[in-house]
Amino acid sequence: MKAFLVAGEASGDRLGGALMEGLTQLAPNTTFQGVGGPLMAEHGLSSLFPMHELSVMGIVEVLPKYRHLRRRMIQTADACLAAKPDVLITIDSPDFGLRVAARVRAADPSIRTVHYVAPSVWAWRPGRAAKMARHVDQVLALLPFEPPYMEAAGMRCDFVGHPVVSEPRATDTDIAAFRAQHDLGDAPILLVLPGSRASELKRLAAPFGAALHDLSARRPDLTFVLPVATGLEQSARELTAHWPSTLRLENPTKTQKIAAFAAADAALAASGTVSLELAAADTPMVIAYDMSWLSWQIMSRAALIDTVTLVNLIEGRNIVPEFLGPACQPGPIAAALDDLLSDPDAQRPALRRTMTALGEGGTPPGLRAAQAVLDGFPASLFS
């Protein structure tokens, strides 16, 4: 089988890597082309261009890069058509991936189209499901309540769970080694996660830093740990130079990152998939995020829900504190972190229930996603 995959950011790269691993296990003759990051490269994908070019978030933030993104979209669709794959799988990043799918479907309806990660039509812009159905055959959903929304629009939808539930967990030995390596002793740790995009780091560095100063005054024994993604090292040094004393983990290995997450007593994080990584590590959190004024005005008016954190959505109540848009202010953030550090166990039952709801303990989500994709084809294709 020939698969053409398109991912546009780190979370999609993770999903794509797990899916590719599952496809290789179930259909060893599968070949891959498309756009992806380092995790997908580990499974045999040579990306058409660097995936980070597509990692732009926010309505207003996309505008300056629109022409470049459109050129990349056309290039990707044309490459897919030239490859003549059995299946096109677009992964998350719907504004880019679904445009690729629409262009491919218009030119060659014989190519089966799958979109991995159901757009959050339950959160905003519910009409997207009907528009998707014009050029998407199947949706792979991460959340258990999503299939009915997609199926109502006429697409097959399979709940496959989230790969975070089957990723390695840090052991007590890993945690002890992390603390020893960085001479942390028994000091309480706050993990600080202002996002994996340069734009997020630039926007959140100031309010996060001010919140840390406030919190440091309340809790002088607290140690701050900042994992820094590849490519953001210099920016992180410059933008966080005014922060209280902070341990920067530049380009941490996966093992180091997992150990840091598990070692932390609590975390301050930007919204996104990282909330699930924290839940998997059993690390309670406060979520804060800001964007341009215009993006916030558009998003807040279109929203159908009052939370962006998956733990809250699955739990059905806002157990994880959020400070979004104009509410992303240092004082309230610091106060919420102070409360959280006083009673970190309050969140943990909800974190564990979230992992169970997302498929922890069952078939690995990447394998479930691969099986769902293969179910749409005759078995002879894989022999």
Cα 316–chain centre separation: 20
Q: Which of 61-65, 339-343, 348-352, 359-363 has the lowest mean pLDDT?
A: 61-65
Rounded CA-CA distance 138/117 in Å is 11
Same domain, 108 and 190: no
- The pLDDT value given to residue 300: 62
Domain extent, residue 22, equals 2-162+361-382
- The pLDDT value given to residue 117: 94
Q: Is the pLDDT of residue 330 over 60?
A: yes
- The pLDDT value given to residue 230: 81
- The pLDDT value given to residue 119: 84
| Mean pLDDT within 15-27 | 95
Q: Between the CA of residue 331 and those of 223, 236, 270, 344, what are the distances in Å?
A: 19, 22, 16, 19
Same domain, 108 and 236: no
The rounded percent of the chain whose pLDDT value lies above 70 is: 91
Same domain, 91 and 185: no
**Confidence tier at 170 by pLDDT (50, 70, 90):** very high
| Mean pLDDT within 135-145 | 93
Same domain, 211 and 96: no
Same domain, 113 and 221: no
- The pLDDT value given to residue 215: 97
Same domain, 154 and 34: yes
| Mean pLDDT within 289-293 | 76
Domain count, the chain: 2
Q: Is the pLDDT of residue 307 over 90?
A: no
Same domain, 303 and 270: yes
Q: Is the pLDDT of residue 61 over 60?
A: no
| More confident: 33 or 249 | 33
Same domain, 205 and 222: yes
Here the tokens at position 228 are 């820094």
Q: Is the pLDDT of residue 216 over 70?
A: yes
Average pLDDT of the chain, as a whole number: 89
User: How many other C-beta atoms lie within 10 A of the C-beta of residue 169?
Assistant: 11
- The pLDDT value given to residue 295: 66
Q: Is the pLDDT of residue 162 over 90?
A: no
CATH number at residue 298: 3.40.50.2000
Q: Which of 26-40, 87-101, 116-130 has the lowest mean pLDDT?
A: 116-130
- The pLDDT value given to residue 303: 60
Q: Which tens digit of pLDDT belongs to each residue from 346-371?
A: 999 999 999 999 999 889 999 999 99
Whether 155 is in a domain gets the answer yes
Same domain, 42 and 137: yes
Same domain, 327 and 207: yes
| More confident: 204 or 119 | 204
Helices (H), the chain: 10-26, 38-41, 59-62, 66-83, 94-107, 128-132, 147-152, 172-181, 198-218, 233-239, 254-263, 274-280, 293-302, 310-315, 330-342, 348-357, 365-374
- The pLDDT value given to residue 59: 47
Same domain, 367 and 348: no
Whether 167 is in a domain gets the answer no
- The pLDDT value given to residue 299: 64
23 and 12 Cβ atoms separated by less than 8 Å: no
Q: Is the pLDDT of residue 142 over 80?
A: yes
pTM > 0.85: no
- The pLDDT value given to residue 286: 97
Whether 184 is in a domain gets the answer yes
User: How many other C-beta atoms lie within 10 A of the C-beta of residue 217?
Assistant: 10
Same domain, 233 and 147: no
Whether 327 is in a domain gets the answer yes
- The pLDDT value given to residue 58: 47
CATH number at residue 149: 3.40.50.11930
- The pLDDT value given to residue 341: 97
